[in-house]
Structure 1
């Protein structure tokens, strides 16, 4: 997935949600390092407080497009596996097993 054009948008979206949820922390530091454009700028430099996170309507549109494209690609991948006689249960099973280990 890392070689897909939408990877960076999904990664940024994940980090933005993390910062809004948790504030200061590893997610904030990673977002600031990888994608400083999501922080308010002052003289061309990103303000470094998590409180300066600033998401625009355009950013939401980009996140939305990346999510839709990801799911479309996943569907095509699973359909390709089915056409080859491969049962694409790898993804749901992995997620379900992770939830079971967490007692969700």
Structure 2
């Protein structure tokens, strides 16, 4: 392959991206998710603490011990439920942080590579504002069949999960229901009833497991490893319209300035 290199993934930089991602996931598990390793024991402690504190006010002549134990049990159940919700929210926030960092790093790399051969701002701004599909079109103009990979499907699912986590109802939820219903918890799972259909689930059913987190992480790693080392100008024969227009706009503005 010959010609001018438009995009280059320098080996040490690729490794730094991979290392940074692995560090993020490892530390998120160690410092955040590990705190929810045994929420049942935490709930039991909450029950015992309530009994200990409330026991100071127990009067056997006026109080029924059964009522105290029932109330303590309710406290434990509530505590367990709240911790479960916090665990789910924490895991989703880890996934969101992981995806957003990957997305920013990808766009930043594209912009820096563009600036090696195109010194104007419209193209750079457009890369930052382009949606996920447009960025994918640009990557595929490298001759890289990104959409045909397994990791792209997982990245797309991760994008939708993050959007639903952030915005709730909307287009992303509709796409998630249609293409990746496994990320929407089914409260009627196993019942075989009509309400088990994904169309009855909403953003409150969004849920990712530790396995999902690992799958998303593996997809990001596979993506970084698969980015072409060099993309030559001769390879880019099908440039996306939005990118071509931004380049042409920059050139037109440059010509206008040179005439003044």
- Output the TM-score relative to the length of structure 1: 0.71
Task: Please tell me whether Structure 1 or Structure 2 has the larger radius of gyration of its CA atoms.
Answer: 2
Residue 28 (str. 1) matches residue 173 (str. 2)? yes
CA distance in 2 between counterparts of 1:62 and 1:13 reads 9
Gap regions ≥5 residues in structure 1: 98-104
- Output the TM-score relative to the length of structure 2: 0.30
Residue 38 (str. 1) matches residue 191 (str. 2)? no
CA distance in 1 between counterparts of 2:154 and 2:163 reads 14
Residue 15 (str. 1) matches residue 160 (str. 2)? yes
CA distance in 1 between counterparts of 2:166 and 2:150 reads 26
Gap regions ≥5 residues in structure 2: 1-145, 191-195, 237-242, 247-260
Partner in structure 2 of residue 59 of structure 1: 212
- Name which structure has the greater RCO, CA cutoff 8 Å, separation 6+: 2
CA distance in 2 between counterparts of 1:21 and 1:35 reads 17
Higher helix share: 2
Partner in structure 2 of residue 100 of structure 1: none
CA RMSD of aligned residues (A): 1.9
> How many residues are matched?
83
CA distance in 1 between counterparts of 2:183 and 2:213 reads 11
- Give 4+ residue runs of structure 1 displaced > 2 Å after superposition: 43-47
